[in-house]
Chains A and B, each alone.
Chain A
Amino acid sequence: MEPLSWGAIAARILLQFLPVWIALAATFGLSWVYRAKLGLYGKLFDNRIGLIGLFLTLFWVYTALAAGLFDWIATHDPLTAVSGMKNKVPGTPLRGAEDGDFPYYLLGGDGLARDVFSRMVAGSWIVVQIAPLATLFAFMAGITLGLPAGYFGGRLDSVLTFAANLILAFPVILLFYLLVTPEIVASGLPAYLSAGLFLLPLVFLGLLINARARTNPRRRWMLLAVMLLPLGWAYLSLISAQGSALDLLPAALDLFDVPGGILVVFVSVIFVNAPTVFRLTRGLTLDLKTRDYVAAAQTRGEGPWYIMLWEILPNARGPLIVDFCLRIGYTTILLGTLGFFGLGLPPDSPDWGTTINAGRKLLSIFPHPAIAPAVALLSLVLGLNLLADGLREESLKD
C-alpha cells in the first residue's frame, strides 16, 4: 500500500474524531438555544474569544471521554508496538495489517513502534482525569486556608501568608526531586504530606454542611454522616497502602490504591498551586467581608464559617472560576514537566508530558512523535486560557 498523502491524513483524522464533532455540535446547539437561561456560561456565546476557548477545551474533554470510556477514536492500542513501524512517518501503512485493523499509523510511529495518534488520544484521557482533579484539590486547599486568613486577619493571616510566600519562593523542581528521593519516601514524608493535604477537602465539606445546617441538629448529623462517612472511607483508602508508612486499613477494607506516582503528581500540583490560590482567595475575602450582607449575617448571629463559605465564597466565584481554568492549563503543563523529569507517571504512560519527553531524544531526526502531543498540549492550554479570558470579560460586564 502507498503511504497516505497529507490531505488524506487530515481527512482520516477528521473522520476519526466523528463522535467528538457530533458531541460538540449537540453541546453548542443546545447551549445556543438555552443560552439566555445559562447565566455566565450562556453569555460566553456572545464572546468570540471565549467561544473558541470553549470549543478547544470541550474538544479535548470529549476526545478524552470517547477514548477513555468507549475506546473510540484511537486507531490502535497505545501501548502495543508493531514490528517494523518504528519511527515511521505519518501516513505509513500498517505492516502486516489484518482484517479489522486500522490500516495506517495516521501520525506515524514512535521510537518504540507505537502509534503516535492513538497515544495522543489516549494521553488526553489521562490529562483530563488528572489535571482538573489535581487543580480542584489545590483550590480546596487554597480556599480552606485563604478564607480564614482574609476573614480573621491578624496573626493567623500573617503566619499563613508568610508560609505561602515561603513555598512560592522554594524551587519547585527541587521539591519534586525531594518528594521522590528514596530516603524521603522511606521516611514516609510524602505519605504524611498527602494525608494532610487530602484531608483539607473533607474539612472543607464538613464545615460547609455544618455551618448551613447548624440551626437544625438532626438534619446536620444526618447530612454530615451521609456525606462524610463514605468520603472518609475513600480518604482512608486513598492514603493507606499496604506496606507503606501509612498502613491504616486492613486490606479487605482498602477500596483502592493509588499508584505512588499519581500521589506525587497530586501533592506537587497542590504544593505549586495552593499558595497562589490562597493569596487570591485571601484578597477576595478581604474585599467581600466589608459588604453589608456580611454584616447582616453577623448581626443575625451566623458563625464565621457560614459567613466564609456561604456569604463570601459564592460571591468570589467569578475570579476563582477564571483562575481555575487558567490553572488547569498550568497543571497540564506541570504534568508534562514532571513527566519530562521522569517523575510522576510510569515511563510508558501515553500522557502528553511523558510522550514529549520520550520523543525529545530523536527530535531532530524524527520530530513527529513529540510534535503531536505538543500540539495537543498547546491547544488545550490555549483553549483554557481563552475560555478564562472570555469568562473574565463576560463576568465583568454586569
Chain B
Amino acid sequence: MGSADEFIKLRCVSKEYATASALRGIDMVVEKGQWVSVVGPSGSGKSTLLNIMSGLDNPTSGQVVIDSTDITAMKEDEMARFRREKIGFVFQQSHLIPYLNAVENVMLAQYFHSIADEREAADSLERVGMGHRIDHKPSQLSGGEQQRICIARALINSPQILLADEPTGNLDRENTRKILELLNRLYSERQFTIILVTHDPFVAQWGRRTITMEDGKIIRDEYR
C-alpha cells in the first residue's frame, strides 16, 4: 500500500498529439479518499488527464504512480487488470451496451473483474435508485437513469478510484443535483477517491478541492 497522502502522483506528465500539446508538464498529488473537481475551458486537457490516470492513454513523457505502482511502465494486460481492480469510469455519454439491460450492463463489469453475480448487480442498482428498472434496455431509460446505471457499474467492483468525465454534462439541473447527491452518499459510505471533470461550477463545488486547467497546465489548485 502506498502512502495515503500520495495515493495518486503525477510527475511532469506531458501529452503531445501531432497537432496539439494536450498536457504540458503536469505535477499533481491526490490523497486517498479525496474528491477532486477538475475544471477549465474546452481543450485545456481535462479528459486527457483523466485518460492518462486510467491508463487508457499513455503520456508522451512523465510518470503516473498510483498506489505506489508506476502505471506508465505497465504492459497491456497488467494495465487491464489494474483498471478492473482499481478504477471505475463514468463518462459524459453513458456508454451502456444497447442490447444488454440495466442489470446485465452492470454484470459485464463484474464478468471482466471476476464473477458476474446477478443478485449483487441488482442490489447495486437498488442502491442507485434503479431497482425498478433492472430489466430495461438503455434506450428505454432517461439520460439521468442511464447515468445512475453507469455509476452502479463503475462502483460494482469496489474500485479505489472513480474517474468521472462530465458525468452530468448531458443532464438538466434537477437531474444533475440528484446524481451528485447519489455520488455524495456513495462517497461518504465507501470513501473512494473521486476525480471529476466538469464545466459546471455547481458541480465543481461538491468536491473539497478544485484543480483548474488551462492550455495543458494546472493554473490553480484550491481547497474549500
Report whether chain A binds chain B. no
Task: Give me the interface of B with A, judged by CB distance under 8 Å.
Answer: none
Task: Give me the interface of A with B, judged by CB distance under 8 Å.
Answer: none
